[in-house]
A and B are shown apart, each in its own frame.
Chain A
């Protein structure tokens, strides 16, 4: 009987603890979620600033998950934004990457990393007088589908003592760019054929004059 009683006591205490946490969780979880959404939105704005992208449209692709199309004030398509995940030295690095319509890198922002302080974290360190981390700035304007660190005979200078972190960012951004490029091309193709058929249909009805 004793063991039942002890079990009940333990259960009672755990229940009180869980109840307290549930109450607090109701309060904090919306704040955490809001912060995440805000952080992502700010990152999107930041990486597309050079292209004037201010509006973003979410695209759900079956093959590669979701990414965003970026539009400027006048609703012209100026590029794409996606999140790249790369395995770094001690964490999975999350980079929000912006691409121009020609798939050059428009901007990068690391939104999650737990790399070695003072080494891998240099990837997000901003030098005095700069507005963005130097490591990420060097990506801008480069062909996003062809990125590699110097050690892999590429065009990106890696951080001293943190090749793995540098490589993780370069490789993951490149891979994501390739995926989106393919997906976008596939969609355009599909759109083109659809538009062609629509145009043909309209012509048949004689509503469009060439």
Chain B
């Protein structure tokens, strides 16, 4: 059971695909202008990631190693197309605003990386857990960037007005530079937190040594 929890939680912060492994950066920047788009993209990625991890894991013994990458790509592309069709039919507004980034889920490195590094070596159940963890971590990172950008750039969150009425939106946050700068600062913040933790650990360690003496 602790194994399951470990595989799930590692994707959230410790090995967060976007913030730690620097995978899937394109959608993280491109569809993070509004929280709604970010959640839509996140859910699509969770679906594709889970299904492709499941299928890849089920096929892992039958797949000849030489052509495993093309096979993974076909599997992933199939689920991406399913998302594309279903979204176009039932969520046309979201489909329009995500635009080209729906078919581009295929080349979201997070998905291929999990197929190759995890699902092709592990049992179906644990692969699904891994996919859910990574997918939720991806969605979390996207939503975090989108929260900063939507509040500063438009004064809203998920479409609801949150800023005071005399708030002057920072238009730059909605544009490409805002995405890059937000991403850079969030990554720096994560690095800084790591540093603090390390320093703290070192300090307690030295304290322990002193006491031992």
Contacts and interface: CB of A to CB of B under 8 A. Distances in A.
B169 A118 contact: yes
Given A28-B88, A35-B89, A114-B99, A6 B37 contact: no
Contact of A112 (B78, B96, B174): B96
B82 A21 contact: yes
Interface stretch (B39-47, B63-71, B116-124, B129-137): B63-71
A31 interface: yes
A117 B67 contact: no
B105 to A, nearest CB: 15
B23 interface: no
Contacts of B78: 17, 20-21
Nearest to A128: B161
Interface string B88-104: 11101000110100000
Contact of B174 (A14, A28, A116): A116
B92 A35 contact: yes
- Looking at chain A's contact residues, is the secondary structure mostly helix, strand, loop, or mixed? helix
A141 interface: no
Interface residues of B, number: 30
Contact of B89 (A10, A13, A14, A32): A32
A7 to B, nearest CB: 8
- Chain A: number of interface residues, binned into ranges: 20 to 34
Contact of A21 (B33, B81, B88): B81
Given A28-B86, A117-B97, A10 B74 contact: yes
A25 B64 CA distance: 30
Given A35-B92, A118-B171, A10 B67 contact: yes
A9 interface: yes
B207 to A, nearest CB: 50
B174 to A, nearest CB: 4
A64 B97 CA distance: 29
A119 B64 contact: no
B67 A24 contact: no
B22 to A, nearest CB: 24
Contacts of A113: 96
27 contacts: A6-B66, A9-B71, A13-B71, A14-B74, A17-B74, A21-B82, A21-B85, A24-B82, A24-B85, A29-B85, A31-B90, A32-B85, A32-B88, A32-B89, A32-B92, A35-B89, A35-B92, A114-B99, A116-B33, A116-B174, A117-B34, A117-B154, A117-B174, A118-B150, A118-B153, A118-B171, A119-B174
Given A13-B75, A118-B174, 15 more contacts: A9-B71, A10-B71, A20-B78, A20-B82, A24-B85, A24-B86, A28-B88, A31-B90, A112-B96, A114-B99, A116-B33, A117-B33, A118-B33, A118-B153, A118-B169
Interface of B: 33-34, 37, 64, 66-67, 70-71, 74-75, 77-78, 81-82, 85-86, 88-90, 92, 96-97, 99, 150, 153-154, 169, 171, 174-175
Interface of A: 6, 9-10, 13-14, 17, 20-21, 24-25, 28-29, 31-32, 35, 39, 91, 112-114, 116-119, 161
Nearest 7 CB-CB pairings of A with B: A118-B174, A117-B33, A17-B78, A31-B89, A28-B89, A28-B85, A118-B154
